[in-house]
């Protein structure tokens, strides 16, 4: 069985930052990633552009050069992949962690391919794997997706996009411009205030000119093969529909945190218990890094404001040694 000073669960940008910091400080480590390098970023829409500028996405002060001030998905994949490969990080790809057990002061981390022992584990698994479900009839139909990739797929189709966030707005605009007939279904009274500032006027203008249809204060009642039924201010509306993009957000794997013993707040935010100074949770030797720290408040943590977690964690582990 392999023993390491740190086992890092999650090979996204913050997991990579933790590996780099451990490597610099002479600590043995392994990064376990269930998919490819930066799996979550890989699954972002093909044309996605970051809200953050490139220098705010940098890790370990390694320059990130992009064509525009705010880089796109393809540039980020190139940047983080090159960091992982050029620094020869000890990262195991397509290896999913199935369980973590603690006996006295030592953890055993079991994956679908191997097992590891360590006195410290870092959970940097993000939040992109578990969608917030609508919990309505028809949500399991093949026409419904909680992830959006390429607008070409929806050309010439009647598409309903559910949500008012960046992902929903980007999808609605891109698919409209590729020839989809787009209907935007928004639970609130307006397009989300956190939508990228250079995109929000665009979607509002498309709505006002009638290019994209919108229902505000609306929720989905039911989805069928040929229609989507929604509750609106003016009663129930049934509209013809070919595809549904339910982009209603995502959440961390709370089940995994519970299995390890990490405490969550009792309210709907489900914020994990951790020290703001060390990132250590209520379980000694278990650290959190990245967006998973926010629980359901996934909009509060980004790459740019959680890069520092790597240094905080490694510093604390070294102090203990």
Structure tokens that stand for 96 in this block:
């999913």
Contact 307, 14 (CB under 8 A): yes
The domains located in the chain, with CATH, are: 2-130+250-320 (3.50.50.60), 133-246 (3.50.50.60)
What b/e readout covers 236-271, taking b as 16+ CB neighbours within 10 angstroms? ebeeebbbbbbbbbbbbebebbeebebebeeeeebb
pLDDT score for 1: 62
Tens digits of pLDDT across the chain (321 residues): 689 999 999 999 999 999 999 999 999 999 999 999 999 999 999 999 998 999 999 999 999 999 999 999 999 999 999 999 999 999 999 999 999 999 888 999 999 999 999 999 999 998 888 899 999 999 999 999 999 999 999 999 999 999 999 999 999 999 999 999 999 999 999 998 989 999 999 999 999 999 999 999 999 999 999 999 999 999 999 999 999 999 998 889 999 999 999 999 999 999 999 999 999 999 999 999 999 999 998 888 889 899 999 999 999 999 987
User: For residues 129 and 141, what is the distance between their CA atoms, to the nearest angstrom?
Assistant: 19
User: For residues 155 and 181, what is the distance between their CA atoms, to the nearest angstrom?
Assistant: 8
pLDDT score for 301: 87
What are the angstrom distances between the C-alpha of 220 and each of 204, 232, 259?
A: 22, 9, 33
pLDDT score for 128: 83
């Amino acid at each position: 069985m392999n023993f390491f000073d740190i086992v890092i669960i999650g090979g996204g940008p913050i997991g990579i930052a933790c590996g780099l910091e451990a490597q610099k400080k002479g600590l043995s480590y392994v990064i376990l990633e269930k998919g490819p390098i930066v799996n979550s970023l890989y699954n972002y829409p093909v044309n996605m552009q970051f809200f953050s500028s490139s220098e705010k996405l940098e890790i370990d002060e390694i320059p990130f050069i992009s064509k525009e001030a705010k880089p796109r998905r393809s540039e980020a994949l190139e940047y983080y992949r090159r960091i992982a490969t050029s620094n020869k990080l000890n990262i195991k790809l397509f290896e999913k962690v199935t369980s973590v057990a603690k006996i006295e002061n030592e953890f055993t981390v079991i994956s679908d391919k191997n097992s590891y022992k360590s006195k410290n584990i870092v959970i940097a698994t993000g939040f992109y794997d578990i969608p917030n479900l609508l919990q309505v009839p028809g949500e399991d139909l093949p026409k419904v997706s909680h992830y959006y990739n390429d607008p070409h797929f929806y050309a010439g189709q009647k598409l309903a996009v559910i949500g008012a966030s960046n992902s929903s707005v980007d999808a609605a605009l891109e698919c409209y411009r590729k020839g989809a007939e787009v209907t935007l279904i928004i639970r609130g009274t307006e397009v989300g205030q956190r939508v990228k500032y250079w995109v929000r006027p665009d979607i509002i203008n498309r709505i006002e000119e009638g290019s994209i249809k919108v229902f505000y204060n609306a929720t989905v009642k039911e989805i069928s093969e040929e229609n989507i039924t929604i509750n609106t201010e003016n009663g129930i509306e049934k509209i013809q529909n070919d595809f549904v993009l339910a982009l209603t957000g995502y959440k961390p794997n709370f089940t995994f945190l519970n299995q390890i013993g990490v405490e969550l707040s009792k309210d709907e935010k489900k914020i994990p218990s951790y020290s703001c100074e060390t990132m250590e949770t209520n379980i000694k030797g278990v650290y959190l890094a990245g967006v998973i720290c926010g629980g359901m408040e996934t909009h509060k943590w980004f790459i740019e404001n959680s890069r520092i977690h790597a240094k905080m964690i490694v510093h604390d582990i070294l102090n203990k040694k």
